[in-house]
């Protein structure tokens, strides 16, 4: 690669402009390379950990699955009752209780490493 001397340059401003463009391009390329590398590392990390976690997770038994469907159905019915045009006085409390029971059940299953 030949060295450039100031004698060979036609215009000092042009030289400065080209150098600045090169610095910006280099900066952009380094940022893109860093971002791509970081994204691929994160994707690899997620893939490794999620696969390991999925292997450890158990599937629901038919009884647990039916109980989960039952609790979800109760929550759906309570929501319909609570948000009718003229709801019963205790409809909001019933909805809250149903949501809490469903939430408690799901948390206990997840704590035992069941896949929901």
3 vs 80 pLDDT, higher one: 80
In angstroms, the CA 57 to CA 44 distance is 20
Q: What are the domain boundaries of the chain? A: 10-56, 58-116
**Residue 116 and residue 54 in contact, taking contact as beta carbons nearer than 8 Å:** no
Per-residue model confidence as pLDDT tens digits over 22-78:
777 777 776 776 677 777 777 777 777 766 666 677 888 999 999 999 999 999 999
115 pLDDT higher than 60:
yes
Q: Provide the 3-class DSSP secondary structure of residue 114.
A: strand
């Amino acid at each position: 690669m030949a060295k450039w001397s100031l004698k060979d340059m036609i215009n000092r401003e042009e030289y400065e402009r080209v150098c600045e463009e090169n610095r910006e391009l280099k900066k952009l390329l380094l940022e893109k390379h860093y971002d791509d590398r970081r994204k691929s590392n994160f994707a690899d990390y997620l893939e490794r950990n999620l696969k390991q976690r999925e292997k450890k997770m158990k599937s629901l038994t038919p009884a647990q699955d039916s109980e989960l469907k039952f609790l979800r159905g109760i929550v759906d019915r309570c929501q319909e009752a609570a948000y009718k045009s003229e709801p019963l006085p205790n409809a909001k409390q019933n909805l809250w209780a149903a949501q809490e029971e469903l939430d408690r059940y799901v948390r206990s299953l997840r704590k035992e490493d069941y896949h929901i």
